[in-house]
Structure 1
Amino acid sequence: MFFGHAALAESVDLPWPLVDADFHNIDATQARLGQKLFYDKILSGNQNISCGTCHHHRFGGSDGLSLGIGEGGVGVGPMRMPGYGDSRIKKRVPRNASALWNIGAKEVKILFQDGRLSVSDEYENGFNSPAEEWLPDGLDTILAAQAILPMTAQFEMAGNPKENEVAGAAHDRIDAVWPIIAKRVRIIPEYGKLFVEAFDDVETADQVDITHIAKALGAFIGQEWRSHDSPFDAYLAGDETALDASQKRGLDLFYGKANCASCHSGPLLSDHKFYALALPPFGPGRTRRFDPYVRDVGRMGESDDLADAYRFKTPQLRNIALTGPYGHNGAYASLEDMVRHHLNPMQMRDEWKPEMAELPKAEWLAAIDFVVMSDKREMARQLSHLDIKPIKLDERDIEDLVAFLHGLTGATALKLPLGVPDNVPSGLPVDK
């Protein structure tokens, strides 16, 4: 039974409506520059993939795949192919491409599914990141810091060693990548002019460095993917009619019997913590240098703490209906299946089939795509780490929960301010 807005607000901790003060200030001129950079393949080693390839407007800031097809792939979204000949992909991206909604909020202080980037003074540059002490100084937000890390990743944007100067630099040391990228960008006359217009400390194009690129990308992401105009947001602001009857019942379950809000709490619908859900494993895994076999230990890969094994960050839920597949590896294509997994993880894991994964075929990778499932010891280790307990709900309850999750879709989520640019200053093709 739904108790009504006032009664429910008294019994549970409903979030407050998001307002401007909850977000970092964004420079609109920098955001417009960032839009071009976000879709410009010049930021990649082989100049064949952009940030927008895997975080595309048409797919809710993701790519519609369980595991991404990065450097070497062809196309965009679920139709992206793994490439051909010598340039084909050598490995799938180990995890699902996370959506970008509202990561410009001030409360976001840790990013990526294993939390490998966080606000910290550990390295005296403002962040704890894979770049450690070599992360550039002067990055003003975690948005800017995260924007430049994929450029250094072999299977995301850098490419394979010996293919290009960026990949070669990344093989030497992570910070050797960024001067190369910055020079590529600033010698393009149109970019030089845009940076001079966007940054007070840039008087001539030769002053552009990776921090300016990072800040422009961060400004674009923070502005473009900000979204809190869903029916749920209207309901929080006092409009009792914003949610329909099924969505109201789903909200009651979300904050009540289904226990969703124990993790998906606060105004961003995430506690920014890490949990083990025992999702069906597949793919290459985000292995550490000393891992002898395919696996993904989640947060432990960053913390080196056994207590963090197989735990992944709680995702934020606004516009969740637009960003499938779901889970750290995109194990489930539908919201309903992801809800069912939360309610009964062991049963859903037992019933899961490899064909449920959204993986474009790559015959040369088939031998490792699901090899982890035959590793009995690794499977047992994963099952020994589980932070959710079964909850019994009937079919109508599940339907209502899914309806509520659809009520988190913003009214303007598919009509964002800037969108995909028609072209970019490098002249390279833009993924549409």
Structure 2
Amino acid sequence: MKTLRNNSFLIVGIMTVLVSCASDDDTYVPTPSQGILESRIIELYGSMEVLIQPLATDYNLIPNDPNNSITQAKVDLGQMLFHETGIAINPNMDVSIHMYSCASCHHAKAGFQSGILQGIGEGGNGFGINGEGRFKNPLYVEADLDVQPIRTPSALNVAYQDVMLWNGQFGATGTNQGTEANWTIGTPKEVNTLGFEGVETQAIAGLDVHRLRIDEDFIINSAYKDMFDEAFPTIEESQRYSKLNGALAIAAYERTLLPNQAPFQQWLNGNENALNEQETEGALLFFDDAKCFSCHSGPALNSMDFYALGMNDLAGDDVLTVIDDGTKRGRGGFTNNPEDDYKFKTPQLYNLKDVTFFGHGGSFQSIESIVRYKNNAEVENQDVSLGQVSSMFTPLNLTDDDIEAITAFLENALYDSNLQRYVPEELPSGYCFPNADPISSQDMGCN
């Protein structure tokens, strides 16, 4: 950024001298920060458009799986099924029938992440305000719980990911080409053999993993029947009301979860007032001196690369399960390649401030703390040797003001305050959502 700024000031200075010769006005006016930011983005990517997210209804512009084109009917169906507690009919304990959904761990009020350190599907009670009030049902032992052994990834911006999860184990194309030997038969990874991209693969596998079921009797005896008919009109009726089609509808909906009303997106689209000076300064640092853009790019500010940054795994008294070695090894736990050990997928960066846990193990409690971690580049996980850590994980020598500016950019400029537009007002079943246990229902004022 310093080089760019100096060059920009030099150009403006020369222009000022030329103008002064004609007007006798030698007032020096530097290039505005937003102009420098625009120039830097164009220098990096060739245009501003590279970072712009489409509208959620621009289905031709949203990345599609070729085997699951996005349609309005699929999105409408998927939105309902994603939040539907009525499909929670395969729990380990009957007390949880109809009590949880996909949205239990991916809900709008937490930026489509979980509002707690370790997301709980079956076996959870309560919601709180932003999902932070969910806790383990005391009737459950660890073996019966459905909990995430790692921080719940956001469902935002999944359209820009061809493989899913922190280790990238779901997805049969692109990034996962050559990993076929690891699509283990009899495990959720076997779903990769169907040939879908990551979003679709995870949706299909996730229904079984999280003990949800698309029940044909439930579908054909409710408003869902017409929704399936509209979404999959070319599928034989005998095959239409299936887990596969329900999952494909959920995936189509998830691909439309775009935080395209965030201030940075507004600025990219021409609103010069969308960013304040500190957020602009943070963006300049992000795309230059701080080198954040090296890993975080494109409309989601993510990438499909995996890096070892030495962050801790889930740990502490609040962790409800033993974290297995495969999860700790990240990408290596999927590929079984030691060179991939402790590498985790680069996450998207939108709508982070509604949660208080960051990093794959939730070991950071604020956005600023993770920025400082990357600035200091001191490994916190002693199980990760320095030889395994990414060569890009080096001290950035940022000042406190720099860190505060980057934090402001991440917290505020990338925050879409209207994610509720992706949430249904009610479900065809009439059940409460995203959870329907009595405590959640009370927390949310749901009858």
Q: The TM-score by the shorter chain falls in which range?
A: 0.7 to 0.9
Q: How does 1:377-392 map to 2 (within 5 A)?
A: 379-381=382-384, 384-387=387-390, 388-392=393-397
Distance 1:391 1:5, change over 3 A: closer
Q: Secondary structure at the match of 1:63?
A: coil
Partner of 1:189: 222
Matched, 1:332 2:364: yes
Q: CA contact under 8 A between 1:230 and 1:409: conserved in structure 2?
A: yes
Q: What amino acid maps onto 1:280 in structure 2?
A: N
* TM-score, normalization by structure 1: 0.75
Please, which of 118, 125, 142 is the counterpart of residue 74 of structure 1? 125
Partner of 2:16: none
Matched, 1:18 2:21: no
Q: Percent identity?
A: 25
Q: CA contact under 8 A between 2:106 and 2:154: conserved in structure 1?
A: yes
Q: What amino acid maps onto 1:53 in structure 2?
A: S
Q: CA contact under 8 A between 2:108 and 2:420: conserved in structure 1?
A: no
Aligned mates of 2:36, 2:152 — CA distance in 1: 37
Partner of 1:102: 157
The alpha carbon displacement at 1:97 in A equals 1.0
Matched, 1:263 2:307: no
Q: CA contact under 8 A between 2:358 and 2:366: conserved in structure 1?
A: yes
Q: CA contact under 8 A between 2:216 and 2:242: conserved in structure 1?
A: yes
The alpha carbon displacement at 1:116 in A equals 0.3
Q: What amino acid maps onto 1:245 in structure 2?
A: E
Aligned mates of 2:178, 2:284 — CA distance in 1: 44
Q: CA contact under 8 A between 1:186 and 1:206: conserved in structure 2?
A: no
Q: CA contact under 8 A between 2:162 and 2:197: conserved in structure 1?
A: no
Structure 1, unmatched stretches of 5+, are 159-165, 167-179, 350-372, 374-378
Please, which of 115, 120, 124 is the counterpart of residue 64 of structure 1? 115
Q: Secondary structure at the match of 1:248?
A: helix
The alpha carbon displacement at 1:150 in A equals 2.2
The alpha carbon displacement at 1:400 in A equals 0.4
Q: What amino acid maps onto 1:217 in structure 2?
A: I
Partner of 1:425: 429
Q: Which has the larger radius of gyration?
A: 2
The alpha carbon displacement at 1:87 in A equals 6.1
Distance 1:98 1:324, change over 3 A: farther
Q: How does 1:79-98 map to 2 (within 5 A)?
A: 79-86=133-140, 90=145, 92-98=147-153
The alpha carbon displacement at 1:40 in A equals 1.8
Please, which of 145, 150, 169 is the counterpart of residue 206 of structure 2? 150
Distance 1:285 1:149, change over 3 A: farther
Q: How does 1:198-217 map to 2 (within 5 A)?
A: 198-202=231-235, 204=237, 207-217=240-250
Q: How does 1:25-424 map to 2 (within 5 A)?
A: 26-44=70-88, 45-46=90-91, 47=97, 48-76=99-127, 77-86=131-140, 90=145, 92-105=147-160, 108-120=161-173, 131-133=188-190, 137=194, 142-153=198-209, 157-158=210-211, 181-183=214-216, 185-202=218-235, 204=237, 207-223=240-256, 225-283=257-315, 284=321, 286-287=323-324, 296-346=328-378, 349=380, 379-381=382-384, 384-387=387-390, 388-411=393-416, 413-417=418-422, 419-424=423-428
Q: Secondary structure at the match of 2:122?
A: coil
Q: Secondary structure at the match of 1:65?
A: coil
Q: CA contact under 8 A between 1:30 and 1:220: conserved in structure 2?
A: yes
Q: Secondary structure at the match of 1:116?
A: coil
The alpha carbon displacement at 1:27 in A equals 1.5
Aligned mates of 1:218, 1:259 — CA distance in 2: 32
Aligned mates of 2:238, 2:425 — CA distance in 1: 22
Q: Secondary structure at the match of 1:148?
A: helix
After superposition, the CA RMSD in angstroms is: 3.2
The alpha carbon displacement at 1:84 in A equals 1.4
The alpha carbon displacement at 1:306 in A equals 0.8
Aligned mates of 2:345, 2:412 — CA distance in 1: 22
The alpha carbon displacement at 1:117 in A equals 1.2
Q: CA contact under 8 A between 1:99 and 1:323: conserved in structure 2?
A: no
Q: Secondary structure at the match of 1:317?
A: coil
Q: What amino acid maps onto 1:149 in structure 2?
A: A
Q: CA contact under 8 A between 1:140 and 1:215: conserved in structure 2?
A: no
The alpha carbon displacement at 1:245 in A equals 0.9
Aligned mates of 1:402, 1:124 — CA distance in 2: 37
Note the alpha carbon deviations across 1:188-214, whole angstroms, 9 max, x for none: 433223212322124647642122101
Q: Secondary structure at the match of 2:171?
A: strand
The alpha carbon displacement at 1:69 in A equals 2.3
* TM-score, normalization by structure 2: 0.73
The alpha carbon displacement at 1:411 in A equals 4.5
Aligned mates of 1:275, 1:381 — CA distance in 2: 12
Q: Secondary structure at the match of 1:119?
A: coil
Q: CA contact under 8 A between 2:77 and 2:249: conserved in structure 1?
A: yes
Greater CA drift, 408-417 or 70-79: 408-417
